[in-house]
Chain A
Amino acid sequence: MKKHDPQPPGWATRFLRWYCRPRLLEDLEGDLYEYFLRNARDKGVRYARLIYCLDVIKFMRPYTIRKIELLHFLTHFMMIGSYFKTSRRNLVRNKLFSFINIVGLAVSMSVGLLVIAIVNDLLSYDDFHKNKDHIYRIITRNQPEGQSPMDFASSSARVAQRLRSDVPGIEDFTIIRNGFSGDAQVGRNIFPLEATWADESFFQILTFPLVAGDPATALKEPYSLVLTEKTALKLFGNTNIVGKTVRFDTLDYQVTGVARDVPHLSHIRFDALISYATADATFGKKGDGFYNWDNMWSNYIYVTIPKSSNIPGVQRALDQISKEENKTLLHRKITLSLQPFKDIALGGKLSNNMGPRTEPSTLWLLGGLAFVIILSACFNYTNLSVARSLRRSREVGVRKIIGARRSHVLGQFMAESVMIAFLALLFSFGLFLFLRREFFALSPEISGIFTLDLSLRSVLCFIALAAFTGLAAGFLPAVFFAKINALSVIKDASGIRIFKHIGLRRVLIVAQYALSLTFIATTLVGYSQYKGFLNFDLGFNTENILNIKLHGADATALKKELAEIPEVKQIAQSSMVTSVGTIYGFDIKYYPTGGALPADSGLVWVNTVDENYLPIHKHKLLAGSNFSLRPEKGNESELIVNQQVLKRFNIGGRDPHKALGHIIEVDGQKLTIVGVLKDFHYGTMENKIESMMFRYSKSEPRGYLNLQIASTNLENTMAKIETAWKRFDHVHPMNARFYDQQIEAAYADFSMMVKTIGFLAFLAICIASLGLFGMVVFTTETKLKEISIRKVLGASEPGLVYLLCRGFITLLAIAALIALPVTYLLFDKVLLTRFAYHQPIGLAELLGGTLVVMLLALVMIGSQTAKAARSNPAKVLKSD
């Protein structure tokens, strides 16, 4: 039949199939089709279709319509009690199998519940905003010429200036700015406070209700301050504070409102808001490039677009603005686009992002892992149920002879598995509560992102999961039992060929073990990689260095006090800690010797340090020397660069010695290269080593003190340092961490992944082992007679054990052959591609886990088979 042959209307055929008796259906359908073709040929397709439809309807006659199967439904309903009873009896009779099934399902479903709670949280992010479907964030793409573009969640304050007049189609917008940090003075008390600048539309667009103050005007005047209830209680002890003042440095801010605390599931989080007019008054008026088009680092702009049909127009207007403003830029393009509000917390990666964000692929990954674990438990159920079919088949046979139809048997077994799944749900809910606590304990960030509270939606999903799991687990056994031929079962129970489905069960066991082995190998390889990151030779020393964060005060006094502690060997200062993921950069210009014009310019990462920094960290100078001058702020003239800078700008023919004395302009200052460093890791292992420079600064009030410690009693030393700190800064608690700990924290997400996979590996192995154990017990039980006969005929015990084990061992070997290459490829092609530098994937780690799991499986198989082989054949054979 050709494809373009005319076809009768599909709905009519479906309708016919629905009402017609199965016995009459096929030839009737054929007849109608034959007439249809005939009519289509003679009188056109339309007429033929009409006739076809009419015929289908006309054929609805008493003798063609299916018998209404009310009785059939009724039977199902009446039999539920019976199903329940037999299921319960079966659960109790086969304690081992019931235990394996329920524990397996419960354990695996608890992971599913956790994933559901996580997904539910992420989908509920920012849901409390009334306008959420109409709010968009303006995001920025920065495209330097010849480099790959970078997307930023932030945008320039200039955009907000132009939005009002130049963009039709938007209803309103608000701009907020991060990064206010100061010491709030209330009466005699001082509290460190971080705040967000926001303009007066903030409360109109976003739903953050005020408990006091007028939302329309609270953020209008300069030096207005809105506190959250929590902050208000901390600062004042009560929330009835509108009109009071808070002093930051020399400026008084007036409290104009108190906002309810920010809900947990919000990507915008603040303790206090300061009117944007304040930022305008403090930075904007000074110039400083606050309103520059390329100053796009700290502002976030949200617009409301009432109709989605306006979006293309708004985008065009934004493009127009970019086009006009980009004329002021050299070698660089900045473009704007809109991001839907609900995509912020669960969307693509953006630099300078605010608040928690989760990659959607993470969700799929988590869901996939949970699915795989649940599937594994379902395999167990399927495997064991089919294996036990010998016992249940008589029951099915009797039911069928009494009059159960295939659908009844199907229903019974599905109902039974769903029932078991719900039983497992009860246990798994308890496990879920436990898992939730452990999950939060994984990292403090997690409790920052998630609440994992139960909601109606999540509870419904839990129930749906249980029902789905039950159906999935019970489907194959149910189909198997439904197909049983009643007569042959009753006549001779052994006639049912339980080993017919051995192929399926073998596949399931291999799949389970391949999965478990992949998980365990992934855990071990991941762990060794993680250790590798921590112990990586970064090109400088990180041992015994304590970094203390400063909070804006000059640390000369503190340094003096710390220097008196004998365990503190040396003290340096730096603006940042390298190799832990933070990066700062400057656009620099390189002036070749004698040239008045810059030859080249580009972005170079920076750390600003004092003269002690390089010796403490044992950076290797290839040429030149450490900083020799001690200029005050703003008068610096020396610069130390790494080899990559020479390579990037082709300074001195890339020879470190020849590069000394060359001039580089940084931030408007011309600096001379006085030293060239051997390359080291400025970023994490994810970043390639790029050009980087050290600038000099005597004091970094917002940076770090780097202490070299040589102590035998660390606790004592830390106490001394803490005392010194308390004398120096009364407001802020000391934030001091060892460099190695900070590096560890930088790879926290990797270690989290390893922990998670490790946990899943544990579960997968447990489930697979339970399943295998059940199968071994079953197989040896059914083969007991065979074993006895073999024994009587003279088989040796080791021979029998080998005979029984052989099949299982082959399966495990196949599983290992699948799992190991898969793990290797997973790391080689997916997980480690993120990292520019990593250890080779070790064979020992790959094989180690496999060996352990295999050993476990062998012990299980061995013990059971040995038990069977040792049994007294006389007893077994006598009882038959």
Chain B
Amino acid sequence: MKGTNLGEFEELVLLTIASLGLEAYSVAICDELERYTGRSSKLGVVHAVLNRLEEKGLAKSHLGDSSATRGGKRKRFYEVSHAGKVALTRAKELREAIWRNIPGFNLEGSI
């Protein structure tokens, strides 16, 4: 893994974290991803990605309060770190820059 490069799935997960705001924890992220993409996303995959994001410093996490619903286990809430926000913005800008350079991109023709 090099630097703070953002993989595609990592980007999705990071965006989902951002969109969930204060409620971003693993299970909720999985559900939300499923809702957006329509594909089932496995906890195992998401968990690994969350862990990697944190390692890269793109996300931060903290343990919440314990609740009875999870057998008394606390949730780990994620939020996008400053570096994460920078990375997301850069990714978005990169895409937009490329988009801008595509003349007359037409959806009708391709599908």
Interface residue ranges, A against B (CB under 8 Å):
1, 24, 26-35, 37, 55, 58-59, 61, 63
Contact = CB atoms under 8 A, between A and B. Distances in A.
Nearest to B64: A27
Interface in B59-110: 63, 68-71, 73-76
B48 A33 contact: no
A1 B73 contact: no
Nearest to B68: A1
Contacts of B52: 63
Given A1-B68, A26-B73, A34 B63 contact: no
B64 to A, nearest CB: 9
B43 A1 contact: no
B26, B27, B63, B73: most-surrounded residue (chain A CB, <10 A): B73
Contact of B27 (A29, A31, A63): A31
B70 A34 contact: yes
Contacts of B73: 26-27, 29-30, 33
B63 A26 contact: yes
A441 to B, nearest CB: 62
Contacts of A27: 25-26, 63, 73-76
A30 B47 contact: no
A35 B43 contact: yes
Contacts of B38: none
Given A31-B27, A59-B47, 4 more contacts: A31-B26, A32-B43, A33-B70, A63-B52
Contact of A24 (B25, B51, B68): B51
Contacts of A55: 43-44
A26 B73 CA distance: 6
B51, B63, B70: most-surrounded residue (chain A CB, <10 A): B70
Contacts of B71: 1, 29-30, 33
Contacts of B63: 26-27
A63 B74 contact: no
Contacts of B70: 30-31, 33-34
Nearest to A63: B51
Contacts of B74: 26-27, 30
Interface of B: 25-27, 43-44, 47-48, 51-52, 63, 68-71, 73-76
Contact of B69 (A24, A32, A34, A63): A34
Contacts of A61: 44, 48
A467 B69 CA distance: 45
A59 B44 contact: yes
B51 A31 contact: no
Nearest to A5: B71
19 contacts: A1-B68, A24-B51, A26-B76, A27-B25, A27-B63, A27-B73, A29-B71, A29-B73, A31-B70, A32-B43, A33-B71, A34-B69, A35-B27, A55-B43, A58-B44, A59-B47, A61-B44, A63-B48, A63-B52
A28 B26 CA distance: 9
A710 B25 CA distance: 103
A517 to B, nearest CB: 46
A96 B43 CA distance: 62
A31 B48 contact: no
Nearest to B71: A33
Contacts of B68: 1
B42 to A, nearest CB: 9
Contacts of A33: 70-71, 73
B84 to A, nearest CB: 19
Contacts of B44: 55, 58-59, 61
A37 B44 CA distance: 17
Contacts of B51: 24, 63
Contacts of A31: 26-27, 43, 47, 70
B47, B51, B63, B74: most-surrounded residue (chain A CB, <10 A): B47
Contacts of B43: 31-32, 35, 55
B95 to A, nearest CB: 29
A32 B76 CA distance: 13
B43, B68, B75: most-surrounded residue (chain A CB, <10 A): B43
B50 to A, nearest CB: 10
Contacts of A59: 44, 47
Nearest to B67: A30
A376 B76 CA distance: 47
Contacts of A35: 27, 43
A28 B51 CA distance: 11
Contacts of B25: 27
Contacts of A26: 63, 73-74, 76
A37 B76 CA distance: 18
A13 to B, nearest CB: 9
A32 B71 CA distance: 10
Contacts of B69: 34, 37
B61 to A, nearest CB: 8
A58 B71 CA distance: 21
A12 to B, nearest CB: 13
A134 to B, nearest CB: 52
A26 B67 CA distance: 12
A34 B25 CA distance: 12
B47 A34 contact: no
A24, A34, A35: most-surrounded residue (chain B CB, <10 A): A34
Contacts of A29: 71, 73
Nearest to A54: B44
The 3 closest A-B pairs by CB, nearest first: A30-B73, A27-B76, A30-B70
Contacts of A28: 47
Contacts of A34: 27, 69-70
A31 B43 CA distance: 8
A53 to B, nearest CB: 14
A27, A28, A32, A37: most-surrounded residue (chain B CB, <10 A): A27
A28 B27 CA distance: 10
Contacts of A32: 43
A58 B45 CA distance: 10
Contacts of B27: 31, 34-35
